[in-house]
């Protein structure tokens, strides 16, 4: 099953304009909305007991989003205590801002200085379906792999628009 999506990016002096095809709007909103819901439930304000109620898929997602920084347990625990909440909150905030920026007509306007939100959220949303080491494939018969491929492709389009010299180097 091949579905065509449009993700056009125009980079201005202080702003980035992203134009999504009509069929891309619900995919982005639904997928990023799922990411926000998982992150909201994992916010530190929640009690440990509530966090333990996550089913296996949700725990696996959080593990993919925030993998251990070290094989050494105490170092990993120290990092998690110091930075875990901050990293969760930053991704949660970025995902909310990206969602809020998507207009009903498929136009998103974003400050150039904050466009990392989009790059981060597209990359992390891909992890709803695949492991960190996988990029996905938009031509796959597997819905999960195809969805991950779509988010990887959108992230790549955005990076190429922001840094055309990278696109030239990589595409020859």
**Least confident among 58-67, 80-89, 119-128:** 58-67
Rounded to two decimals, the pTM is 0.85
Q: Which residue has the tokens 């002096």?
A: 13
Q: Does position 8 have pLDDT exceeding 60, yes or no?
A: yes
Between 43 and 102, name the one with better pLDDT. 102
For the chain, what is the HEC assignment?
Answer: CCCCCCEEEEECCCEEEEEECCCHHHHHHHHHHHHHHHHHHCCCCCCHHHHHCCCHHHHHHHHHHCCCCCCCHHHHHHHHHHHHHHHHHHHHHHHHHHHHHECCCCEEEEEHHHCHHHHHHHHHHHHHCCCCCCCCCCCCCCHHHHHHHHHHHHHHHHHHHHCHHHHHHHHC
Closest CA to 110 of 5, 11, 25, 7: 11
What pLDDT sits at residue 12? Answer: 95
- What band does 154 get if pLDDT is binned at 50, 70 and 90? very high
What pLDDT sits at residue 110? Answer: 96
- Domains of the chain, by residue range, sit at 7-171
Q: Which residue has the tokens 């200085």?
A: 113
């Amino acid at each position: 099953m091949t579905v065509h999506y449009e993700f056009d990016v125009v980079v201005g002096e202080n702003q980035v304009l992203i134009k999504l095809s009509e069929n891309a709007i619900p995919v982005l909103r639904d997928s990023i909305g799922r990411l926000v819901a998982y992150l909201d439930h994992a916010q530190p304000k929640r009690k440990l007991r509530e966090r333990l109620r996550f089913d296996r898929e949700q725990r696996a997602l959080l593990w993919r989003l925030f993998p251990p920084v070290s094989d050494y347990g105490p170092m990993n625990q120290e990092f998690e205590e110091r930075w875990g909440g901050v990293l969760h909150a930053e991704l949660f905030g970025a995902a909310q801002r990206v969602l809020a920026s998507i207009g009903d007509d498929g136009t998103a306007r974003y400050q150039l200085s904050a466009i990392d939100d989009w790059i981060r959220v597209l990359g992390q949303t891909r992890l709803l379906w695949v492991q960190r080491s996988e990029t996905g494939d938009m031509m796959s018969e597997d819905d999960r792999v195809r969805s991950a491929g779509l988010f990887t492709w959108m992230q790549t389009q955005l990076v190429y628009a922001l840094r055309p010299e990278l696109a030239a180097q990589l595409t020859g």
